[in-house]
Amino acid sequence: MIEEDWLEVADNTEIYFKKWYNPNQQPKAIIQLAHGMVEHINRYDDFAKQLVDMGFYVYGNDHRGHGKTGERQGLLGFFAHKDGFSKASEDLLMMTRKIKATYPSIPIILFGHSMGSFLVRHYIQQHSLEIHGAILSGTGYFPSLQSRAGKFLASLQPAKEPSGLMNWLAFGRYNKKIKDKRTKVDWLTRNETAVQDYERDPLAGFVPTARFFYDLMSGLLVIQDKQRNQSIRKDLPILLLSGDQDPVGQYGSGVWKTAQLYDQIGLNRVTTMLFEEGRHELLFEINKHEVYRAIEGWITDTLRIKV
């Protein structure tokens, strides 16, 4: 079954969310999804249904400025007037607590893809005790100078207007290693149908506002701050999941740098999986069912659930 609802958060923003579940089955765990930049939670319908078939319940929300949440706000690609990245991360915490109010004894795994992984990395800096594990899909590591420069450039532009410049700086080079390019977003996945669906989706691939990019760059600086990461509980299970042809993860090197970042502060349950030839959106790849099984295996091992 699928349910849809709205969650009102601290600043009165209304957050759209979905729940996928089997009412005839007690969940082994609950997977909370955090989608990526310029997309929305409905794109994860197939993945969520597969997770339900595996014995899990799934919750996921549209972030501020995205999907139905962004439509209700009246502006896609805009988090908030101030502290937007932190607020989007806090929305995930409010979602977690809503889940716990209904299922207080069920383990929760927080799954974030791309920008969603950045939000999860911010979340666990303060609230790692709230969850049983975190999956970071399509994450990366970004030089602080690059993020500071991006933040400065974004600050010079009208806050609520789409920024073609920042969008090009963020994504413009991602297709460069793709041979026989068909679209500007071939870097997302080798699955041509998935790329076509993305391009046709009116709630995907839009150009965000300058303020969004300011918030994003601010967030990237925070999630790589060593002192802030010290507060993550050392036994938090973390899975880093990426394709070795994902430009967001610097073709694997940024994923390993992120793993090293966590290793250096003493986190002792970090696992890294790189899928050969996989691009940015592993959940939409031509071998997505292999990815699904790997995720199920990690969750099962992490929670010591018998399947």
DSSP state string for 262-298: HHHTT---EEEEEETT--S-GGGSTTHHHHHHHHHHH
pLDDT bracket for residue 10 (50, 70, 90): confident
For residue 115, being part of any structural domain is answered with: yes
Tokens 């806050």 -> residue: 159
* C-alpha 98: how far from chain center: 19
Using the 8-state DSSP alphabet, how is residue 209 labeled? B
- Whether the CA torsion 24, 25, 31, 36 is positive or negative: it is negative
Give tens-digit pLDDT for 208-218. Answer: 999 999 999 99
* Spatial separation of the C-alpha atoms in residues 247 and 254, rounded to whole Å: 9
Range of the domain at 16: 2-142+219-304
φ and ψ at residue 86, rounded to 5 degrees:
-60, -40
* Spatial separation of the C-alpha atoms in residues 97 and 222, rounded to whole Å: 23
Give tens-digit pLDDT for 80-128. Answer: 999 999 999 999 999 999 999 999 999 999 999 999 999 999 999 999 9
Answer for the pair 151, 142: CB distance below 8 angstroms, yes or no: no
The pLDDT value recorded for residue 306 is 41
- Of 282, 76, 69, 70, the C-alpha closest to 194 is 282
Tokens, residue 73: 């706000």
pLDDT above 90 as % of the chain: 97
Using the 8-state DSSP alphabet, how is residue 100 labeled? H
* Spatial separation of the C-alpha atoms in residues 17 and 68, rounded to whole Å: 9
For residue 266, being part of any structural domain is answered with: yes
* Beta strand 57-61 pairing with 2-8: unpaired
* Spatial separation of the C-alpha atoms in residues 35 and 41, rounded to whole Å: 6
The predicted model scores a pTM of 0.97
For residue 283, being part of any structural domain is answered with: yes
For residue 206, being part of any structural domain is answered with: no
| Phi-psi domain of 37 (left: phi exceeds 0; alpha: psi -120 through 50; beta: other) | beta
CATH number where 113 lies: 3.40.50.1820
Domain count, the chain: 1
For residue 177, being part of any structural domain is answered with: no
The pLDDT value recorded for residue 304 is 80
3-state helix, strand, coil in the chain (%, to 5): 45, 15, 40
When mean pLDDT is compared across 171-175, 235-239, 302-306, the lowest value belongs to: 302-306
Using the 8-state DSSP alphabet, how is residue 234 labeled? T
For residue 103, being part of any structural domain is answered with: yes
Tokens 């036994």 -> residue: 235
Averaged pLDDT for residues 264-293: 98
Answer for the pair 302, 133: CB distance below 8 angstroms, yes or no: yes
For residue 175, being part of any structural domain is answered with: no
For residue 7, being part of any structural domain is answered with: yes
* C-alpha 82: how far from chain center: 21
Answer for the pair 207, 213: CB distance below 8 angstroms, yes or no: no
